[in-house]
Amino acid sequence: MATGQVVRSEWTKIRSVASTVWTLSLAVIVTIALGMLISALSSSQYDNMSRQDRLSFDPTYISFAGMSLGQLAMIVFGVLVVSNEYSTGMIRTSLAAVPQRGAFLFSKIAVAAGLALVVGLATSFAAFFLGQAVLGTHRTHIGDPGVLRAVIGGGLYMTLIAVFSMGVAAMLRSPMLSLGILMPFFFLISNILGNVPATKKVGRYLPDQAGSRIMRVVPEIGDHTPYGPWGGLGIMVLWVVAALVGGYTLLKRRDA
């Protein structure tokens, strides 16, 4: 089967599955709604902040506060895109139709990543503009230094989270096992490692901790992280590449 046919086939699979719609919709709704809520609370508490908190006040990053939960929906999306065929047994039919396993896997990931990028960028821009509207006089503008980079970076971050999850799902094959590892890792373990002084130097190299720096415009007071926004995104890309290589390697070596 030609590459174009494989891509069209994967697009048909993804858009015909109900989970694609609800997971991506949930990512959009949660990210925007929580971002607006945190922006409203930050605006109301601004006058009560300490001088140090005001110096590190980052209106752009605040509007992305919902990403912490929205990314969980993107994780579910990424896992289901890859592992649904294993759970239903359709993987045997798919690999029989497309014996070139590399073409099969990367066509699936390319289609899903493209969809995640469109949704991620739309969500990021919507979260920014609505969050800034709620912040009122404490808002920033899209043309201010570093802001457009952060907004575009928010969309890239959500996309990379989804693609990383696809790579992990390709390695583990089971949706329950993949979600059972990824959900607590991103929601709990990474946050703990990134905030506990004893493990902070290690935690800042985890994919979400590093990648999320692309969304920050105003650096935190006393932040000594040895990389900048693009460096952090680069670290996240390395994690994603490692996950995809692992998924491809195991797909090549294992039976369906």
Assigned token pair, 223 = 């932040």
Tell whether pTM > 0.85.
yes
* Cα-based distances in Å from 21 to 73, 76, 116: 11, 12, 11
pLDDT in tens, 115-173: 999 999 999 999 999 999 999 888 999 999 999 999 999 999 999 999 999 999 999 98
Contact between 107 and 10 under an 8 Å Cβ cutoff? The reply is yes
| pLDDT score for 95 | 67
Walking along the chain (256 residues) 10 residues at a time, the average pLDDT comes out as 72 79 93 96 87 87 94 94 76 68 83 95 97 93 95 97 95 91 92 87 93 92 87 97 93 71
| pLDDT score for 30 | 95
Helix, strand, coil percent content, the chain, rounded in steps of 5: 80, 0, 20
Q: How many residues does the chain have?
A: 256
